[in-house]
């Protein structure tokens, strides 16, 4: 008879060998035992591998790759559910595992016997290894060094503690933002206050009020509602209330002052990142981060951002002056979105809201899939017989034209409570082709669109359409990879400042007339987007391009300077750094109490620390890559094939600059981006 704990482990859905996670069966109490079991087995296996007498790629590296794969596919549904179906129980289980995982990863990366084994493999087998295999080993050696393998024991221990605390603080940051977002709502009883808001938002607010036994309307702080209020609401007090609630989330200001304040969390995150970088003898965290990036130095990044600011500043100033002239008064931060929308409507007789009826989600998806099918010779089909975490989630398989399976993905499209805001693609299962077995890639695509109404599908704005194309571009990068080793397959091992290339590249298609025709179908009449509206929409692409560019540069410079200029004696100086950057690049006035940094999850909780510049960096690559398509025809198969073979299928298996040069025949050129935005 088996001991009861063995029985429990055998029945643990997280440890079951299934091609897809059994979401419906996963309970918070499964998480920690599964992770402990897996880590214990992993440690035992690493011990064996580190002691192999004659280390070879097949005997050591492949099994380590298998361990990465196993752990990441077990943990993936847990961290995913924590983001999209957050609950108290799951949050506790998730948090209990973070220190275990962090300690395991640091121990593995600091293992000197394993490091020596990898070094021996390069020495003995280096010349006979294939290019991809060589890169697996070299990248692993680099990561050993970046985890402090060469440090003395005391520093090693300290590095491990720092990594562990960082993991916990980053999770705390995200929790504070989610809780602050969930906690705030506005109860409206006077219909006049809703003037300007679209029907879908209003009826959702009415449903939410009813659900809570209230009269009138309950507006929550989910992303679609927030965006809709600050763009469309005629009531200035309503816009101001939303702007204030949104930009003071998790801070020492605003409606929930101090309740989920991220200020000390940010301070500690920045202090510990700096300490980790110093332990490895980098001058600061930005330099440490650049060790794995396409950009080579702090100066190169700052010069790049400043060059863009130089190009866009005058355009942005002019746009803002025009906007104030149009409004006939000085504008506050919560007026800008509203008057920009009014100006855009008057200038182009078109608005994001008026576009919604033309973009029902099913039609947009069909058109998006057609783009991918035409470009990359694949087929995408829906399957509804797999386990999902919510009834709104859909599942698709992607296969080659000849019917060979390539991968699959989930789409979780709508905003709902307890779901993190924003949109992202994440790995569910990574691709592997190892002696120990094979797996095809599986992705999660997550968005926060306004949900369907009672008798109609979800209707997207064109901004939403861009978001969907963007995340799908990441998805293609993950799914179309042909790299066999988990550490370099798909988006794994890709330099962070090159990772937004496929996503921003694909956004270009959502602007193309052929594609606009295929993704649009009016909900009432079935008509595609009329040509006149298409032309108007296209004209809006460069609308306020200068202001938007300066805003992105503000975020990027703030992030980069915060990490590059950290001073241990004076602390993070978040407000001071932000103030300096705003002085340099901000065009729109910002109220003193704006605390956007406190909910800036990209850099405090996500992977964009000292890396927000990556959006602009990769946007240059994407615009220049798309220009190659414009030169040869946007559906030209030869060009698409080259893009697929040089960039998409390669994952992290080659240097991003080499890959770009192979595709484009030259180095990236910033002018394509400026031209695209009408700033050149
Ligand atoms: Zn992205």
C-alpha 152 – ligand 1 centre gap (Å): 38
Q: Are strands 437-439 and 405-414 parallel, antiparallel or unpaired?
A: unpaired
pLDDT of residue 547: 96
Calculate the alpha carbon distances from 532 to 163, 346, 353 in Å.
Answer: 55, 15, 17
C-alpha 503 – ligand 1 centre gap (Å): 6
Given a contact cutoff of 8 angstroms between Cβ atoms, the answer to whether 598 and 263 are in contact is: yes
User: Residue length, the chain?
Assistant: 680
C-alpha 573 – ligand 1 centre gap (Å): 28
Q: Give the pLDDT confidence of 559-606 residue by residue, as tens digits.
A: 999 999 999 999 999 999 999 999 999 999 999 999 999 999 999 998
Q: Where does the pLDDT of residue 678 fall: very low under 50, low under 70, confident under 90, or very high at 90 and above?
A: confident
Q: Give the pLDDT confidence of 288-307 residue by residue, as tens digits.
A: 999 999 999 999 999 999 99
pLDDT of residue 417: 87
C-alpha 425 – ligand 1 centre gap (Å): 8
Residue in 353, 471, 500, 619 annotated catalytic: 471
C-alpha 127 – ligand 1 centre gap (Å): 36
679 versus 115: the higher-pLDDT residue is 115
Scan for tokens 């763009």, then name that residue: 231
Q: Where does the pLDDT of residue 167 fall: very low under 50, low under 70, confident under 90, or very high at 90 and above?
A: very high
For residue 286, give the nearest of 102, 501, 557, 551 by alpha carbon: 557
pLDDT of residue 169 exceeding 80: yes
C-alpha 446 – ligand 1 centre gap (Å): 11
* Residue 248: count of CB within 10 angstroms of its CB: 23
Q: Give the pLDDT confidence of 338-371 residue by residue, as tens digits.
A: 999 999 999 988 888 889 999 999 999 999 999 9
Q: Which two tokens stand for residue 619?
A: 């946007």
Calculate the alpha carbon distances from 237 to 186, 226, 554 in Å.
Answer: 11, 14, 27
Report d(CA 488, CA 139) in Å as an integer: 9
For residue 151, give the nearest of 202, 191, 111 by alpha carbon: 111
Q: Where does the pLDDT of residue 4 fall: very low under 50, low under 70, confident under 90, or very high at 90 and above?
A: low
C-alpha 305 – ligand 1 centre gap (Å): 19
pLDDT of residue 82: 96
Query: Count H helices, E strands: the chain?
Result: 27, 9
pLDDT of residue 463: 94
Report d(CA 57, CA 75) in Å as an integer: 26
Q: What is the CA angle 302-305-309, rounded to 5?
A: 130
Q: Give the pLDDT confidence of 615-672 residue by residue, as tens digits.
A: 999 999 999 999 999 999 999 999 999 999 999 999 999 999 999 999 999 999 999 9
SS (H, E, C) 429-461: ECCEEECCEEECCEEEEEEEECCCCCCCCCECC
Q: Give the pLDDT confidence of 151-161 residue by residue, as tens digits.
A: 999 999 999 99
pLDDT of residue 5: 65
Per-residue pLDDT, averaged over 190-211, amounts to 95
What backbone phi and psi angles, to 5 degrees, belong to 79?
Answer: -70, -30
Report d(CA 647, CA 555) in Å as an integer: 28
Report d(CA 193, CA 341) in Å as an integer: 18
| Continuous segment of H or E residues that includes residue 410 | strand 405-414
pLDDT of residue 9: 80
Report d(CA 504, CA 458) in Å as an integer: 24
6 versus 472: the higher-pLDDT residue is 472
Report d(CA 645, CA 90) in Å as an integer: 41
C-alpha 615 – ligand 1 centre gap (Å): 8
C-alpha 143 – ligand 1 centre gap (Å): 24
C-alpha 174 – ligand 1 centre gap (Å): 18
pLDDT of residue 3: 61
C-alpha 316 – ligand 1 centre gap (Å): 24
Residue 471 known to be catalytic: yes
C-alpha 409 – ligand 1 centre gap (Å): 16
Q: Give the pLDDT confidence of 414-432 residue by residue, as tens digits.
A: 999 899 989 999 999 999 9
pLDDT of residue 522 exceeding 80: yes
Q: Are strands 217-220 and 185-188 parallel, antiparallel or unpaired?
A: antiparallel
Report d(CA 66, CA 434) in Å as an integer: 8
Per-residue pLDDT, averaged over 219-224, amounts to 93
Share of the chain above pLDDT 70, in %: 99
Q: Which two tokens stand for residue 572?
A: 């993070």
* Residue 107: count of CB within 10 angstroms of its CB: 17
pLDDT of residue 680 exceeding 80: no
Q: What is the CA angle 164-168-172, rounded to 5?
A: 165
For residue 612, give the nearest of 604, 601, 620, 603 by alpha carbon: 603
C-alpha 82 – ligand 1 centre gap (Å): 20
Per-residue pLDDT, averaged over 20-42, amounts to 96
pLDDT of residue 6 exceeding 80: no
Q: Where does the pLDDT of residue 548 fall: very low under 50, low under 70, confident under 90, or very high at 90 and above?
A: very high
Q: Are strands 405-414 and 442-449 parallel, antiparallel or unpaired?
A: parallel
Report d(CA 498, CA 620) in Å as an integer: 10
C-alpha 568 – ligand 1 centre gap (Å): 32
pLDDT of residue 339: 97
pLDDT of residue 136: 97
Residue 328 φ/ψ region, left for φ over 0, alpha for ψ in the -120 to 50 degree band, beta for the rest: left
Given a contact cutoff of 8 angstroms between Cβ atoms, the answer to whether 676 and 517 are in contact is: no
């Amino acid at each position: 008879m088996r001991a009861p704990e063995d029985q429990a482990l055998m029945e643990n859905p997280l440890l079951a060998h299934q091609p897809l996670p059994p979401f419906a069966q996963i309970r918070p109490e499964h998480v920690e035992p599964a992770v402990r079991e897996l880590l214990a087995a992993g440690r035992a296996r690493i011990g064996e591998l580190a002691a192999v007498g004659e280390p070879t790629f097949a005997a050591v590296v492949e099994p380590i790759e298998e361990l990465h794969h196993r752990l990441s596919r077990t943990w993936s549904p847990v961290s995913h559910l924590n983001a999209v179906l957050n609950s108290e129980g799951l949050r506790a289980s998730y948090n209990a595992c973070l220190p275990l995982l962090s300690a395991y990863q640091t121990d593995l990366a600091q293992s000197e016997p394993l490091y020596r084994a990898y070094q021996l493999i390069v020495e003995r087998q280096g010349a006979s290894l294939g290019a991809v295999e060589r890169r697996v080993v070299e990248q692993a050696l680099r990561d050993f060094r970046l985890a402090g393998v060469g440090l003395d024991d005391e520093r090693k221990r300290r590095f491990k503690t720092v990594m562990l605390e960082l993991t916990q603080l980053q999770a705390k940051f995200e929790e504070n933002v989610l809780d602050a977002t969930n906690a705030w709502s506005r109860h409206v009883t006077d219909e006049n206050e809703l003037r300007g808001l679209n029907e879908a938002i209003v009826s959702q607010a009415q449903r939410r009020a009813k659900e809570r036994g209230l009269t009138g309307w309950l507006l929550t702080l989910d992303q679609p509602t927030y965006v809709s209020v600050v763009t469309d609401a005629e009531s200035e007090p309503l816009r101001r209330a939303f702007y204030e609630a949104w930009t003071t989330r998790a801070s020492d200001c605003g409606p929930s002052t101090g309740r989920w304040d991220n200020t000390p969390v940010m301070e500690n995150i920045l202090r510990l990142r700096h300490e980790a970088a110093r332990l490895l003898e980098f001058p600061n965290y930005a330099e440490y981060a650049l060790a794995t990036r396409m950009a080579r130095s702090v100066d190169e990044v700052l010069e790049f951002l400043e060059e863009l600011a130089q190009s866009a500043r005058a355009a942005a100033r002019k746009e803002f002056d025009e906007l104030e002239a149009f409004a006939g008064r000085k504008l506050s931060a919560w007026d800008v979105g509203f008057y920009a929308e009014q100006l855009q409507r008057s200038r182009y007789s078109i608005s994001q809201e008026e576009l919604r009826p033309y973009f029902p989600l099913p039609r947009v998806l069909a058109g998006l899939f057609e783009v991918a099918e035409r470009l990359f010779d694949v087929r995408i089909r829906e399957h509804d017989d797999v386990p999902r975490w919510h009834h709104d989630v859909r599942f698709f398989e992607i296969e080659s034209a000849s019917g060979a399976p390539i991968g699959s993905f989930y789409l979780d499209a709508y905003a709902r409570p307890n779901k993190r805001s924003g949109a992202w693609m994440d790995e569910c299962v990574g691709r592997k082709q190892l002696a120990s077995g094979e797996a095809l890639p599986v992705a999660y695509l997550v968005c926060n669109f306004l949900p369907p109404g009672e008798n109609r599908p979800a209707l997207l704005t064109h901004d939403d359409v861009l978001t969907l194309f963007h995340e799908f571009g990441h998805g293609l990068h993950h799914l179309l990879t042909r790299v066999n080793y988990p550490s370099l397959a798909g988006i794994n091992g890709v330099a962070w400042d090159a990772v937004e290339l496929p996503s921003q590249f694909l956004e270009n298609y959502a602007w193309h007339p052929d594609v606009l025709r295929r993704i649009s179908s009016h909900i009432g009449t079935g008509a595609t987007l009329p040509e006149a509206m298409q032309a108007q929409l296209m004209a809006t692409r460069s609308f306020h391009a200068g202001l938007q560019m300066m805003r992105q540069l503000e975020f990027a410079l703030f992030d980069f300077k915060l990490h590059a200029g950290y001073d241990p004696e004076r602390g993070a100086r978040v407000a001071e750094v932000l103030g300096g950057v705003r002085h340099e690049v901000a065009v729109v006035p910002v109220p003193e109490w704006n605390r956007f940094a406190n909910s800036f999850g990209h850099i405090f909780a996500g992977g964009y620390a000292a890396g927000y510049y990556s959006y602009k960096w990769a946007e240059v690559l994407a615009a220049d890559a798309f220009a190659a398509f414009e030169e040869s025809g946007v559906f030209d198969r030869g060009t698409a094939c080259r893009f697929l073979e040089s960039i998409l299928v390669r994952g992290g298996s080659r240097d991003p600059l080499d890959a770009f040069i192979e595709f484009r025949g030259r180095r990236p050129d910033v002018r394509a981006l400026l031209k695209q935005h009408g700033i050149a």
